A and B are shown apart, each in its own frame.
Chain A
C-alpha cells in the first residue's frame, strides 16, 4: 500500500493529468470522456510522454498493433516500472489484453483474445457492475476478450455468461468492453475514484 500512497502524492496542483496510450485505437474517445469529467489528458507515444502522469489509460484498438508499438518505442519497461510504483491504470478491450500476464504482466490475469468471436458476434448488453452504483451499465463488446484465468489478488466485477469481463486489482481496472464509445461516464469516474483523482462534482469549465 505504501507504493500506492507515494504515487498518489501529486506534486502539481490543478486538474489531474491522465495519459492515454496513443499508439493506435480509440484513444481520442477516452480523452473526450476524461475531458467531460474535468481531468486533463496527454497522448502517450514515447517514454518521455509518461513523465508526471497521475494515471494511464490503455484504449481499445488492435492489441497486436499496440504490442508491436510498445516494443518499437521501448515503452514496456517504463510502463512496468510505473505500475510497480502504483500508477493507476485503466485498460479497455485491447488495453485489457495489454495489461495481462502474457503482455505487460501488470494484471494477474490471462485475457483470451476475440473470445466472443468474430465481428458478426460483437454485441451490446446491459448488466450490473460491482462498485458502480446507478443501475445496469450498458456495454458494447467488439471482437472482445474475456478473462480466462486470474490470480487471487484480482476481483471480478462483472461477467457475461460466466466469463469475467470487468476486473480490478488494486488500482488497475480492466474491461472487455468500451465505455468510451457509449458515453457511459460511470466507468471512467469509477476508475478515477479508485485512483483518488476524481474531481469535485461541482467543477465547471
Chain B
C-alpha cells in the first residue's frame, strides 16, 4: 500500500459541489414532508429527497409567507434516509442558508417556491461550504446563478401545478439559447452576454462547450412518467418531482414509475409500462389560468 500517512484534504471545493450533482444525474429528486415519506421515496428509487414543510401545491393553496422548514423536521428526514437530503432557503435569505449548512444538508435550494426575502439580490453562494441548486427560466438567469456560486441548475417550470408547460418552455429556452451561443463568433459574445445579462466568462465557456458548466435538472409541473420522459428527451439531466408524487392517489407506485421512466426515457415501451395503472395524478392547475401574481417562476432576478 502506498499511502498510510495522513493525507491533506481540500473540503467543499466547487468540484465536490458540482460533483454531487453529477452523481444525481439520471435520477429523480422527490419532495417529502415527513420521515415516512422520505423512506417511501428512498425505497422507490429517489436519488435524493427535498425536505420541506409543505409541498408547492399546498403552499400555493394556503398562501401566506413560505419559509425554510423547521430544523427538527429536516433532522428527522436526515435520520430516516441514507440518500442526500436537500432543503430550501428563501431567495436572498442567507441566514436561512447558514442554518441549513449548520444542519449539514447535502444541497441547499435557493427557491422561488418560498417567499423571496430580498427583491434585488440572491445569496452569495461562494460564501458557503454547502452546494446550492437554483432555478432558472432562461440561460441568462442560469448563468447569473452560477456566477453567484450555484453548483447545479434546475429549470423552474411552475411548481405545484402539475402542468408541464412552463417546464418545457424554460428547458427549451435554456437549451436553444445555449445552441445560439455556439454559433456566434468570439467578437459577438460580449454583446450576447449583455443581452443575456450574464457574466462574459461564463458566456464564453458555454459557447465553447455547448452546455452549461453545471448539471441541469428540470423541475416544476412533472406529474407523470411521460412528463419525465418528455423533459429528459428535451435535454434535462434528471428531474425534480415536487407535489407530483405525494399528492397523487398512489405515491409509492407513482414514485417507482417516474424513476423507471427517467432511466428508460428514450424507450416508449418502458415508459408505457411504467405509466400503466397508476391511479389518479395530483390535482392539477392549468398554468395559463393563473394570474400573474400567482406565478412563482418570475421570482428571481
The interface of chain A, by Cβ under 8 A from chain B, is 22-29, 45, 60-62, 64-65, 68-69, 72, 93-94, 113-114, 118-130, 140-143, 156-162, 164, 178, 181-182
Contacts and interface: CB of A to CB of B under 8 A. Distances in A.
B27 A24 contact: yes
Nearest to A121: B11
Given A118-B106, A143-B106, A159-B3, A123 B9 contact: yes
Contacts of A127: 2-3, 7
Interface stretch (B112-120, B189-197, B257-265): B257-265
Contacts, number: 140
B25 interface: yes
Interface stretch (B45-53, B223-231, B242-250, B279-287): B45-53
A45 B261 CA distance: 12
A59 to B, nearest CB: 9
25 contacts: A22-B26, A24-B47, A27-B26, A45-B263, A60-B23, A61-B27, A64-B42, A64-B45, A65-B46, A119-B107, A120-B101, A122-B16, A123-B10, A123-B12, A124-B10, A125-B7, A140-B15, A140-B19, A142-B19, A143-B20, A158-B1, A159-B1, A164-B1, A181-B15, A182-B15
B83 interface: yes
Contact of B259 (A65, A130, A182): A65
A161 B7 contact: yes
Most chain-B CB neighbours within 10 Å: which of A122, A129, A157, A162? A122
Do most interface residues of chain B lie in helix, strand or loop, or is the interface mixed?
Answer: loop
B23 A124 contact: no
Interface of B: 1-4, 6-13, 15-17, 19-20, 22-27, 42-48, 82-84, 101, 104, 106-107, 129-131, 259-260, 263-264
Given A65-B45, A119-B106, A128-B2, A26 B23 contact: yes
Given A24-B27, A61-B26, A119-B107, 4 more contacts: A25-B23, A65-B83, A119-B17, A127-B2
B4 A29 contact: no
Given A61-B23, A123-B16, A181-B15, A24 B263 contact: yes
A140 B48 CA distance: 20
B148 to A, nearest CB: 19
A68 B45 contact: yes
Nearest to B15: A140
Nearest to A67: B45
B15 A62 contact: no
A57 to B, nearest CB: 15
A159 B23 CA distance: 22
